[in-house]
Amino acid sequence: MQEVPVLIVGGGPVGLTASMLLSRLGVRSLLAERHPGTSIHPKARGINARTMEVFRQCGVESAVRKAGLPPERAGLIVWVRTLAGEEIERRVPTRSSSASAALSPARNCVCAQDDLEPALRAFAEAQVFGALRFNAEVTACEQDSTGVTAKIVDRRDGCEMNVRAQYVIAADGAQSRLRRQLGVPMVGRENVYESVNILFNADLRPWTAHRPAAFYFVEHPKIRATFLTINGVDRWGFLVNNLSGYGYHMEAFTPERSADLIRIAAGIPDLEVKVLGVVPWTASAHVAATYRSGRIFLAGDAAHRRFRAEHRRPRRPQSGLETFRSAGGRSE
């Protein structure tokens, strides 16, 4: 049986950051992630200044900034009728203002999650005290007065191993298996509204390059939606909130219909659009009744659930980049 001071369950941003922080303190840890690699969906993009301060302390800030967009390429928020049509308003958000810059040496950053996670993983794997295992699923944890015994299954060959840890950090996502096993209830409101995220390729520079923004809010009679900047060139997100309020339903968002809605919001009927993925999700406002049960601590989406995705999130394999599938969303 392998023994380690801390077992981290989940290899998303929270689990990887936990590994880095423990390594910084000289505490050995083992991270187990059931997927073969990091996320290949860019769902989360905004990193606030406080998180960047943590990355700065760990020594990974520069790598994250290199993976993301420089501030001048996402410094605005813009409201439009359509991308090619009337501009209603543009603003510099507080987090991007000079006043905000005076408060901390670490500025906020726009870095898509599928770019962020590989940077964090590479840094975490380079640390002496942190070990990472992907394709490794923690199927059970039993704790006693002196520690936690976890069963880990290798998803490639089905081999099992037991790990004995003094403490466990459960960073295994909104549908946390460990939280359910512990019987920790979620407090708050479920099913607040329905939304859909669409990942697509299209060259939007003719309508965005002169006003680089993190968000382009579209106020169109047929649809209210948001263009989300990923690389600011040809890779974008498209978010539609409150579907039922505008007469839409999740089932209607086929790739073809999604491309049509993107063209309507862009105001460009002949725009070349390649839809890479459609991710329906339902917003929730849930928080765990407790963040700790004995020697197991809940962290990240395992402790506070903001949404429930309808499909599971695809992941990068350990080498190479697999083709994007139409699943996504952090639902594990």
Answer for the pair 120, 300: CB distance below 8 angstroms, yes or no.
Answer: no
Tokens representing residue 50 in the block: 């406080």
Length of the chain: 332
Nearest residue to 119 via CA among 64, 81, 68? 64
**pLDDT at position 84:** 97
The Cα–Cα gap between 15 and 34 comes to 12
Answer for the pair 243, 249: CB distance below 8 angstroms, yes or no.
Answer: yes
**pLDDT at position 185:** 94
How far is residue 175 from each of residues 21, 72, 79, 88, 301, measured CA to CA in Å?
24, 36, 34, 39, 8
Answer for the pair 45, 324: CB distance below 8 angstroms, yes or no.
Answer: no
User: What's the CATH fold of domain 2-45+112-185+289-309?
Assistant: FAD/NAD(P)-binding domain (3.50.50)
Contacts of 326 (CB under 8 A, 6+ apart): 255, 277, 278, 279, 311
**pLDDT at position 200:** 96
- Reported as type and span, the H/E element at residue 54 is helix 49-58
Per-residue pLDDT of the chain (332 residues; tens, 9 = 90+): 899 999 999 999 999 999 999 999 999 999 999 999 998 788 788 898 999 999 999 999 999 999 999 888 888 999 999 999 999 999 988 776 677 777 888 888 999 999 999 999 999 999 999 999 999 999 999 999 999 999 999 999 999 999 999 999 999 998 899 999 999 999 998 777 788 899 999 999 999 999 999 999 999 988 899 999 999 999 999 999 877 777 777 888 899 999 999 999 999 999 999 999 888 888 788 899 999 999 999 999 999 876 555 443 444 443 332 222 223 333 33
**pLDDT at position 308:** 52
**pLDDT at position 306:** 67
250: three-class secondary structure by DSSP: helix
DSSP string, 114-183: HHHHHHHHHHHHTSSSEEEEESEEEEEEEE-SS-EEEEEEETTT--EEEEEEEEEEE---TT-HHHHHHT
CB count in 10 Å sphere of residue 50: 10
Distance from first CA to last CA of the chain, Å, rounded? Answer: 27
Which region, left, alpha or beta, applies to residue 247 given φ > 0 means left and ψ of -120 to 50 means alpha?
left
Domain boundaries of the chain, sorted by first residue: 2-45+112-185+289-309, 71-108+191-284
Tell me the whole-structure pTM to 2 decimals: 0.85
The Cα–Cα gap between 178 and 159 comes to 20
Burial of 133 (0-12, 13-18, 19+ CB in 10 A): middle
List the CATH code of the domain at 71-108+191-284: 3.30.9.10
Nearest residue to 20 via CA among 80, 83, 66, 63? 63
- Reported as type and span, the H/E element at residue 78 is strand 76-80
Q: What angle do CA 52, 57, 59 make, to 5 degrees?
A: 90
Q: Which residues pair with 142 in a beta bridge?
A: 149
How far is residue 89 from each of residues 151, 213, 224, 241, 248, measured CA to CA in Å?
54, 12, 15, 20, 27
Tokens representing residue 327 in the block: 């699943």
